Amino acid sequence: MSKLKGKTALVTGSTSGIGLGMALALARQGANIMVNGFGETEGVLSEIRSIGVEVDYHPADMSKPVEIEDLIRCTENRFGSLDILVNNAGIQYVANIEDFPVDRWDSIIAINLSSAFHTIRCAMPGMKSRNWGRIINIASVHGLVASTQKAAYVAAKHGIIGLTKVVALETARTGITCNAICPGWVLTPLVQKQVDARAERDHVSNEQAKLALVSEKQPSGEFVSPEQLAALAVFLCGNDASEVRGVAWNMDGGWVAQ
Ligand code: NAD
* DSSP string for residues in 88-152: ---------GGG--HHHHHHHHIIIIIHHHHHHHHHHHHHHHHT-EEEEEE--GGGTS--TT-HH
What distance in Å separates the CA atoms of residue 169 and residue 166, rounded to the nearest whole number? 5
Positive or negative, the Cα torsion across 156, 161, 163, 164?
positive
Atom of ligand 1 nearest to the CA of 61: 19
63-118 confidence digits (pLDDT tens): 999 999 999 999 999 999 999 999 999 999 999 999 999 999 999 999 999 999 99
Cα–Cα–Cα angle for 157, 227, 156, rounded to 5 degrees:
5
Q: For all residues of the chain together, what is the average pLDDT?
A: 97
One domain for residues 219 and 229 = no
Q: Does residue 54 have a pLDDT over 80?
A: yes
217-246 confidence digits (pLDDT tens): 999 999 999 999 999 999 999 999 999 999
The number of domains in the chain is 2
For residues 250 and 182, the answer to whether their CB atoms sit within 8 Å is yes
* 3-state per-residue secondary structure call for 187-241: CCHHHHHHHHHHHHHHCCCHHHHHHHHHHHHCCCCCCECHHHHHHHHHHHHCHHH
The domain of 71 spans 8-184+225-253
One domain for residues 143 and 195 = no
Q: Ligand 1 mean position to 33 CA, how many Å?
A: 17
One domain for residues 50 and 165 = yes
Q: Is residue 139 part of a domain?
A: yes
SS3 state of residue 171: coil
Flag the least confident range among 6-10, 82-86, 211-215. Answer: 211-215
* DSSP state for residue 174 in the 8-state scheme: S
One domain for residues 125 and 168 = yes
Q: Ligand 1 mean position to 19 CA, how many Å?
A: 7
Q: Is residue 91 part of a domain?
A: yes
Q: Is residue 1 part of a domain?
A: no
96: Cβ–Cβ under 8 A, 6 or more apart, which residues? 148, 149
**Which residue lies with its CA nearest to atom 36 of ligand 1?**
140
One domain for residues 141 and 208 = no
pLDDT at res. 206: 94
One domain for residues 56 and 18 = yes
Strands 32-36 and 8-11 turn out to be: parallel
One domain for residues 128 and 216 = no
One domain for residues 74 and 97 = yes
One domain for residues 215 and 230 = no
One domain for residues 205 and 248 = no
One domain for residues 29 and 114 = yes
**Which residue lies with its CA nearest to atom 12 of ligand 1?**
13
**Which residue lies with its CA nearest to atom 9 of ligand 1?**
13
SS3 state of residue 45: helix
